[in-house]
Amino acid sequence: MRPDTPATPAETDRANHVAEAERLERTAAMYPEDAEHLLLQAAAHYELAEARDRATTLYDGLLSAEAPQSPALIRALKAANLWEYGHEAEARAIITGVRTAAPRDPAPWVIVAESLEAHDELEEAHATFTEGLELLVPESERDSGVPLPKHPLLLGRHRVRRMLGVEHDAWDALADQANRTSVSLDELHDPKRTWALGSENPAELQAEISRLRAELGTYREALSRPFPVAVLHWPSQEYTELLSAYPSLTSEYPSYETHLASTEASLRELTASGTANVGIVTGTLPSYEAFAASENSSPEDVSLLPQYATTLAARGRAVGWPPAAGAECWCGSGNSYASCHGIGA
């Protein structure tokens, strides 16, 4: 019999992605109101694990559900996934359907255009980026500045036009305005850059790496986080019930006043450290117990608390911090934030 061999790093990565996808599927079953968001994340992990058939199954399930929240996005993701494992004809048909439906969200346009681009359908990719921009960016935004969520349409169109070798137009000028890097878009999107990656000259390679890092920073900023970095807050009643059920958690929560002060301090520290998109999630004992069960762990395990906060944020339960001027404090006191935990902020 062949002796066992250790898993390669690639195999380990695939296994980790599958495990995370399966965990998200279990969580979605527990929280049907958030199932679509969680299952889209699960499908992304299956794609990263090269389990593309399982991703397609999730997309099909979401589309067959009653009134999916983002049908155009799901169809776009399904098409891009199908094309990657040999179902080109079906992918093309779905892409045509997405374009015909003319969704008002930029994400489906970007996904189908980039899928066309990835398979060297540059003319169709260019047409798709252009259709999306003409539909979603009114004249007023063209004059005052295109909003950040629509920047990937501008940048993707500019990139494709550079590969097609066509002259700049008005949309390209707006793309230049949207560029947040110190490197011009013409340089970032120069088709000859791919040749530099094959160079044996260390200086050329280092220059290309610097340009790629600049471009990656742009995409990270454009995409942002799908949910905030969240700090967990327990309302007074939930706090009392939590410690009554699990007294060992007093090591983490010695008093309610300390919990509130620690929550505010954590939020300020995150912001001071440069973390963007900070938020607060509110815990409840039933949902925390369900989360612990889904992790095959005990609610008394304090290491679960930050994981629980992240899961709540991923389910769209985070509230941005700090509260708006004049708004009530996040702690539930009923007082304004400025006169409560926001004193000295």
Single-letter residue type at 329 = C
Rounded distance between C-alpha atoms, residue 285 and residue 117, angstroms: 48
Task: Kindly list the structural domains of the chain, giving each domain's residue range(s) and its CATH number in brackets, ordered by start.
Answer: 9-223 (1.25.40), 229-339 (no CATH)
* Residue pLDDT tens, the chain, 345 long: 334 444 455 677 888 899 999 999 999 998 888 899 899 999 999 999 999 999 999 999 999 998 899 999 999 999 999 999 999 999 999 999 999 999 999 999 999 999 998 888 999 999 999 999 999 999 988 888 888 889 999 999 999 998 888 899 999 999 999 888 777 888 777 776 545 555 566 666 666 666 666 655 554 444 444 556 889 999 999 999 999 999 999 999 999 999 999 999 999 998 888 777 889 999 998 888 887 887 788 899 998 898 888 888 877 788 889 888 888 999 999 999 999 998 876
Buried b (16+ CB within 10 A) or exposed e, 202-216: eeeeeebeebeebbe
Which DSSP symbol is given to 103?
A: -
Q: State the DSSP string of 172-224.
A: HHHHHHH--SSS-HHHHT-TTHHHHTT---HHHHHHHHHHHHHHHHHHHHHH-
